[in-house]
Amino acid sequence: MSGKINNKTLLYVFVGLIGILVITKLLTSNKLVRTLDTELVIIDTSRITHIQLYPRSETGEEIEFEKIGTKWTVSSNNIRGAADHNSLNRSLSELINLKTERLVARSEDKWGEFQVSDSLSTRLVIHEGKKKTLDLVIGRFDYQPPPGGIQGFQGNQQNQFSGVSYVRKYSEAEVYAVEGFLGLSFNQGFNTWRDQTISNLNQSQISRLVFDYPADSGFIAQRSQAGWQVAGLPADSASMVQYLNEISRKRSSSFEDGFQPSVAPDYQLNIEGDNMPQIVIRAFSQPGGDVILNSSINPETYFRSSRNDIFAEIFKPASNLLSGQK
């Protein structure tokens, strides 16, 4: 009798252990799948209204982006200006295309290794209206060389470098490895996010340049069927091509915040053309020899330049453009 009871008891115990094992495996499996399939980033870029960024490169100093209509502004330490839409859009595009590779840590004791602690990381907070839709901590970035090395090739294309960034949600302990250059994209200083544009135009559309210089030394460069003329004389074609190349894309990170002109510019260039708005670039002479530049493309922003830098590339004398002249 006791033998039957013991056997029956053992059977119940055995069945119970199997049940516990099955349940444990199911729970562990579900937890693993849930963790690896977690959507780290669920945002609608068209609805983003406000971004707070705390880059490691700025020792956590806040950089704030605000969308006003269709335009973005960026501010830090009471300085506000137009944001560089291309830089911001590229970084947001990388963010929404983020792919989780693997879970690398489950606890806070690994944060230092992956640089996702408060003092070592870049924090990104995104708002859609009054709703906070993302609070992400971005840590260490690692380059991943191509399989064949730097000189390796696949087919007819050279292998490209890739990257891995380490991130975590601000309120959670888990750290993830994600594909891409997120660790570099958002760890940028304030001036990098600002609109640095002085000129941005299609040089083939330019047909007339009006140079307004001190002491009546200005002149007009005009394109005709016979080619460019400068002050009524034939221009050197190579010099004109080089000059138009130079002024078509001009940027500067030497911001002169707080400058307010009180007098008319000392130098001014009007750029006119076909199917394009007129662009005006102004230069204000400063004590010590530098100049402050301003462009109608980026009217609220001022840049400092030495006489031998961007200023000299834009405001050339007529002799530099004339045929037979250096």
Q: What is the Cα–Cα distance from 231 to 212, expressed in whole angstroms?
A: 12
212, amino acid identity: D
Q: Tell me what pLDDT residue 18 has.
A: 63
Q: Which residues pair with 293 in a beta bridge?
A: 283, 303
Condensed to tens digits (0 to 9), the pLDDT of residues 134-152 reads: 999 999 999 877 765 555 4
Q: Tell me what pLDDT residue 127 has.
A: 97
Q: What is the Cα–Cα distance from 183 to 98, expressed in whole angstroms?
A: 12
Q: Tell me what pLDDT residue 36 has.
A: 44
What value does the mean pLDDT take over residues 232-255? 96
Q: What is the Cα–Cα distance from 96 to 103, expressed in whole angstroms?
A: 19
Rounded to 5°, angle at Cα 108 from 102 and 111: 65
Contact call for residues 167 and 176 (beta carbons, < 8 A): yes
Condensed to tens digits (0 to 9), the pLDDT of residues 289-322 reads: 999 999 999 999 999 999 999 999 999 999 999 9
DSSP state of 77: T
* Residue with tokens 């990388």, as numbered in its chain: 94
**Which of 5-9, 155-159, 300-304, 307-311 has the weakest average pLDDT?**
155-159
* Residue with tokens 């601000």, as numbered in its chain: 170
Q: What is the Cα–Cα distance from 148 to 159, expressed in whole angstroms?
A: 7
Greater confidence (209 vs 143) lies with 209
Q: Using 50, 70 and 90 to split pLDDT, how confident is the model at 162? A: confident
Specify whether the backbone of 67 is left (phi greater than 0), alpha (psi in -120 to 50) or beta: beta
Specify whether the backbone of 77 is left (phi greater than 0), alpha (psi in -120 to 50) or beta: left
Q: What is the largest CA-CA distance in the chain?
A: 123
- Distances from the Cα of 284 to the Cα of 20, 166, 257, 273, angstroms: 80, 47, 14, 25
Condensed to tens digits (0 to 9), the pLDDT of residues 214-228 reads: 999 999 999 999 999
DSSP state of 40: S
Residue 34 has pLDDT above 70, yes or no: no
3-state class (DSSP) for residue 301 = strand
Condensed to tens digits (0 to 9), the pLDDT of residues 39-98 reads: 788 889 899 999 999 999 999 899 999 999 999 999 999 999 999 999 999 999 999 988
- pTM as predicted: 0.80
What value does the mean pLDDT take over residues 207-218? 96
Mean pLDDT of the chain: 87
Q: Tell me what pLDDT residue 323 has.
A: 73
Which residue, among 231, 232, 203, has the nearest Cα to 316 in the 3D structure? 231
Contact call for residues 92 and 48 (beta carbons, < 8 A): yes
Q: Tell me what pLDDT residue 292 has.
A: 98
Condensed to tens digits (0 to 9), the pLDDT of residues 99-125 reads: 898 999 999 999 999 999 999 999 999
Q: Are strands 71-76 and 131-144 parallel, antiparallel or unpaired?
A: unpaired
Instruction: Give the domain 197-320 fold.
Output: Immunoglobulin-like (2.60.40)
Residue 8 has pLDDT above 70, yes or no: no
